[in-house]
Amino acid sequence: MDTLEAIGTRRSVRHFTRDPIAEDDVHTLLQAAMAAPSSANQQAWHLVVVDRRELLDQIPTFHAYCAFLHEAPLAVVVCGDLSRERSGGRFWVQDCSAATQNLLPAAHALGLGGCWAAVYPIEERIDGLRRLLHLPEHLVPLNVVAIGHPSRLPRPAARFDPARVSWNAMG
């Protein structure tokens, strides 16, 4: 799929068939995520792939906006790896968000769909994932990205808004 089409037509997908994600596609998604830029190239990320049904089904018990995980065959939990963070903690959220946003158009290009559900900085969600996935202290979950084969495709959204653009000095 063409890059501008993938970026422009990607929507959050919350309804999935039960089909699993091919191993090659998982690898492609992880590669896309790790191709992101990062502050001083620190790559302070760690990706936890969750495909066990009992784990996916537990996440909504502490993260109400993740009910779509009951339908999703797989999720990627994008974590900041503080043991690799060399910016005093200032940039890992930005770096890991970039990695996440590489993953989503890549999924769309593969015919898959995904939805980014925020975790950090909400303590209940962080603690819930930490306990469920046995995350060590140096990994901080930033989000949960559901991945699956869309059972319904949302129509592309036109989000461009010229009111949110300025040129050069304002005011």
Q: Interface residues with a second copy (CB under 8 A)?
A: 1-8, 10, 12, 28, 30-32, 34-37, 39, 43, 45-52, 55, 81, 90-91, 93-94, 97-98, 100-102, 104-106, 108-110, 115-116, 118, 121-122, 132-136, 142-143, 157, 159-161, 164-171
Distance CA 91, CA 122 (A): 18
Nearer of residues 71 and 130 to a second copy, judged by Cβ: 130
Least distance between a second copy and beta carbon 33 (Å): 9
**Residue 141 pairs with which residues in a beta bridge?**
79
User: How many CA within 13 A on the CB side of residue 168?
Assistant: 0
CB distance 29 to 102 below 8 Å: no
Least distance between a second copy and beta carbon 165 (Å): 5
Nearer of residues 39 and 151 to a second copy, judged by Cβ: 39
Of 89, 147, 141, the C-alpha closest to 119 is: 141
- How long is the chain? 171
* Token digits of residue 31: 């590669």
Least distance between a second copy and beta carbon 158 (Å): 9
Nearer of residues 30 and 82 to a second copy, judged by Cβ: 30
> End-to-end CA distance of the chain, in Å?
40
Distance CA 76, CA 46 (A): 10
Amino acid at 129: L
Nearer of residues 5 and 127 to a second copy, judged by Cβ: 5
Least distance between a second copy and beta carbon 170 (Å): 5
CB distance 146 to 66 below 8 Å: yes
Least distance between a second copy and beta carbon 18 (Å): 18
